Each structure stands twice: as structure tokens, then as C-alpha cells.
A and B are shown apart, each in its own frame.
Chain A
Amino acid sequence: MSMDRRKFLKIAGLSALVGLGGSEAFELLQPGAVDASEGHEGEGEANEGHEGPYAGDKIRWGIAIDIIKLGENPAMAKKIITTCHYEHNVPDWGNPKDAVKWIWEDDYEHSFPDSYNDLMAEKVEGMPFLLLCNHCDRPPCVRVCPTKATFRRPDGVVAMDYHRCIGCRFCMAACPYGSRSFNWLDPRIALKREGRKLNPRFPTRMRGVVEKCNLCVERLDAGKLPACVEAAPDIMIFGNLVDADSPVRKVLRERVSMRRKIQLGSKPSVFYLV
């Protein structure tokens, strides 16, 4: 078939028009379809028809950490960390590159980098802060996990299923709190080298998975308190954030509290009492 110049220009012009108007055509046929596929979930959707932050949930576990009391008795931080690390067989590699962190200590500047200033009171600056997974209401790590190895339980705990973790470390990039650690090496090497007594009730991890604080789900499911709370009940205050009479809610009503990096919108459930 031969085509003269006039016919070619006509077809070319028509094609260009259709091409330019492509996304509009989609919009015309199926309004909102393009937006939806790009992951714009409605902001208020999760809380629609609810009142208050956790309304609609029955259980929403949370921890309040009394920084003032911890500052008065800084030796307790060590005790809490040791208890947690024994409970979950967390290895100590002795270097920051391989470090596996479930609960750890840092200073104010690195815990609250957004509310730090150069003229801080010296007392505050030197205070020890206990950091752990914030068990966010909208956990970014869960959103990026390609295998659903990390997921949010109905009680708000952001849990890990090590059987499914493929070690891609997307969650580590997504977590704004540095609460996730990768097992570069077999953790049993470090546990053996330490010669430490292991907790026979809890497994270790293996090389190539990401791990983090699990808010002691294995203890919660058995009706016990998290190990850190049991080790220091006056510093770590645990409870159900939905229940207005729970110990956390009580202490949060009475004291000034802050959470880490709230402007990111991940809604942490670990509170710092100051």
C-alpha cells in the first residue's frame, strides 16, 4: 500500500493527539484508577469513623520510658539491656558494623535530632536514653517488606517472621529509628565466642536475616510482661494504650512525654517521659 504525504501527516497528527491525551483518557474512563495504583491510600481511611487515636482497636501495646528515673539510676540501662539480650540470645559482636540491636543506649542528640539545639542544658545532653523498636502504628518497614516477613499484629506489635526474611534489608532503609540490624555473620559465632549462657526457651537467628525488638511477643502471648519491663518496672511502664486505666495511659496523663521523629508520621508507641 502506498501512502501520500498528506495521508501520512494526518495519521501522525492524530496519533500525537491521542498520545498526549493518554492519561486524560484513562481519567475519563476510570476516575482515580491511576492514583490508586500509585499507592495513595486515603490518609484518614484507617481511622475513619473512629474517635481518638486508637479507637476501634481492643489492644494496642505501648511502653513509656521514664528518662528522669533512668537518669537518676543510669546503671539500670545496663541491666535492662542485659536482660533483653539474654532473653532473646542477642549476640554481642563488639563492633558497630556487625552490632545487633534490640534495645540500646544513646544520648539526647542522637535520639531526638530534630529537637536538639546547641544551647541545651548540660544535664539533658548527658542523659542516657534507651532506644528500641517503636512498634509504629504505621510502620514504614512493613510497607516495604517484599515477603511480608515483617508485619503488624492486631495488637500493634511489629513482628518479624525470620522464616520468611530474605535479607533484602529494605526494612532497614525504611526504618527511621535504626531499630533493625542485619546478621552479616552467623550470630552463633559471637554467642559461642562470648561463652554466654543461652536462653533455652528462645531460638537464635541465622546469617542473612534482619532482626529487631519483638516487644517480647512470645511472653505477651503467654500472659507475661516484656523482659525489659519486668527488669525495671519503675522505669519502663508497659500497658494497653487503648485502655484509659492502663498504667501507661495513667502515667502519660500525668507527665510530659515525647516520641521520636513524630513529624515522619509513623506514629511510634514508645513514649519518653521527661
Chain B
Amino acid sequence: MQLTGWGNFPKRTTQLTAPRTEAEVAEQVTEGRAIARGNGRSYGDSAIGAVRTLDMRRFDRMLSFNAATGQLVAEAGVMLSDVIDSFLPRGWFPMVTPGTKLITLGGAIAADVHGKNHHVDGSFRACVDWIDLMGPDGSVTRCSRDENSDLFGWTIGGMGLTGVILRCAIRLRSVKSGWIRQTMIPAANLDEAISAFEDNMAATYSVAWIDCAAKGAALGRSLVMLGEHAEPGEVPPRYRATPFKAPRRRKKTFPMNAPGFALNPLSVRAFNALYFWNGARQEGQQIIDWDGYFYPLDAILKWNRLYGRKGFMQFQCVLPQDRAREGLHRLMSAISDSGQASFLSVLKRFGPQDSPFSFPMEGYTLALDFPRHPRAIALMPELDAITLDNGGRFYLAKDSRVPADTFATADPRAAAFAQWRRENGLADAFASAQSERLHL
């Protein structure tokens, strides 16, 4: 059947199965060129098997929880939203979470996702204690920092190309409420935004929404949002008796694919300006519930339809700390000059990262999305070149289009990963449309 990622592009033919047992997984894996898929939230072709795709969402059992250590053992198809539903009422929250809770634990490990606290806590890797991984012959290996540590290292951030993640142990964070104390810092331009990040390295959470349409002196104007888990006493009075309970939002579903003209430079520019001025009015502190703070987009199911039938592209790169300021200036100028403003653009300071193949590195990451419009497609090579010039690299979970040679130049670790896969007999067993495109 035809399968896509969250960006609705590209569409690739693959044999999709939804196994229920390890034996059924083994049956597929031993046939070769298979990839595991979680909830399909990676944007491009990471979770589309070269030949076989295994929908792992039926492996959705939680197996144990240790309230002394916060360690949860669960199957790979358990969703982060399930973890929150079960454990926030008991005072626990994911240690690391990306901007959507609608992902599986297996997917979070494979992409080694990061959150607004990367500069303090690191990527998802930091909370993973061990992984049970099915290899090419169908046998299961437990790997951790002490046991099969090479396999453990490559698997986190390995995009499913080291085996099928069946189970894992992750540690949760103890929290005192389900609320976040947010501090909003409007930044008039890119330099102010960077300063706001650098001045607030002690904040637990920090992220900026950045206006890609602003030009000149306002280039890179941003809303920098810091966050701390709120104390029970800070919870709004109505909810103070049950501090872990957030107000339930009614979920909305984006009804259909929007027509191609809905997102045009004018509407995007208007939205960005409105968003900035609205945010700037909220300067200072606010108490926000966890769902609204971490997952604003989850409130609109199928929001990817906003971009219409043709789908959209994500561009996410990270630039090393010493080149970030210059590189970001060039990226932002290129985008605003092109008139192809991104609808949702996010800037984030990363802290140090030590892992063989994960995306983050100390510096700044910029995430943008663009409708698949010819002019936006034409802009991509320019952004790629600026990234390369500044020693940056690309995020596989977002990628659907980086050329293989560009990726290899940006990330010399890719060649090492490919070689390690060949040496360990993994190259033919596990393959996605993305791994074939990028020769991983």
C-alpha cells in the first residue's frame, strides 16, 4: 500500500503489516528490508519500509512502574500521551518530550527526540535505561549503557535501522503539578532572541517562536518562552484541589485538505505578525496547563491537512554554537528575502550532546515548515548550503528531501553508521525509504 509520513510527502509503496506477537515481527524481519513504524509522526520517509513496514502500535502494554526510581517499562508502541494519562495524576511526567505527545516510545527512541529542556537534560536518550531490540535473525537483545553499549548507542537516534525496538525502560520526572510557569520574552530581532537564550541557560524549558517574514531591523524577531514546572500553590485556584488535572480541551479535527492558495506569502506574513504582537502583549509570567504549554498543536487533530494535498516539507538543522549567530542570520535573511515565510518556525538552544548518531549538538536548531510549492522547493538548496557552510547538520525525523551527498557532507557520522550497519549484518535487514535515499 501507499504510505506517507506526517508531511504527506513523499508517498511510497510498501507492505504494511501490524504484528501482534514477537513471532509475527520476526516473520517480517527475517524477510529483510523492513522498518518499524510508530504513530507516523516523522515528517518524511523515515518510517516507510523499503519493502516491509511494521506498524508497532499493537505493542502497547505498560509492563511495570517503579515509584521509587520513576522507571517505566513498556512496549514500544505505547504512546507518550498514554504515559501522561497514566502517570501525571500520580505526579510523573516524561523527562523529555517533543512538541507532540502523539508519538510512540519506540519512535521517540529511534529519532532520539528532543524537547524544550535539551539545554539542561539532553535528548530522549537521557531517560532511556535499556532497550529490547529484535535483530535480523529474529532474536532479541537487551542493550543498555552497560550491556551491548554499542548497539544501545547507535539504536538511540538510529531511525529504526539497528533493529526493531520491542520494549524499553525509561525514567519519568517527578513533578508537583500539571502546570507550567511560563515567562514570555519578546525579542525584537535575532540577536535579542539569542541573548534571551544565553541569559536563561538555567531555565528548565526554553524555546522561541520566530517570525520568518520579518525583515531588516526586525529580522528574526521572536517570542522566547521559558518554562518551569509550577508548585501546587501556583496552580490557578479553580484547579488547586487537583493540581495534576488540566482543563480538558475539546479536540478539533482539521476537516479536509486545505486548497493550495490558503497558505500564501501574504496570509503567512499576516499570521506571523499577528502572532508576534499577540504574544508580545503576554510579556511576563503566566501559568499554563501542560497540554497547552507542551502540545498546542495536538489540540487540532490532522493539522497537517492545513498544507493541502501536496503536503509540506520540514527543514530542521542545527548549527554549532560558534557558528550559530552568523549562520542563523544568513538563514533568516535567505528565507525572508525569498518571501517563502514559514508558517510555524521554532528556534531552540541545544546543550551538549554525546551520542554516535543523534541529531542534536551544542548550538542552535531552527525548524521551519513550508508547503510543497515550487518556490519553497527552490529555496531548500540555498538553506542546505548555508547549513553546510556553518558546520550544521540535518534532523532525519523531519527530512523528506535532503540530497544524499549534502547529508553525507553535513554529517560524516552517516558513513560510519552505514559501515557499522554493514559490519553487523543490519544493512539488508532494516531499510527505510529514507535510509535508501540517503545511503545509511
Specify whether A and B are partners: no
- Give B residues with C-beta under 8 Å from A: none
- Give A residues with C-beta under 8 Å from B: none
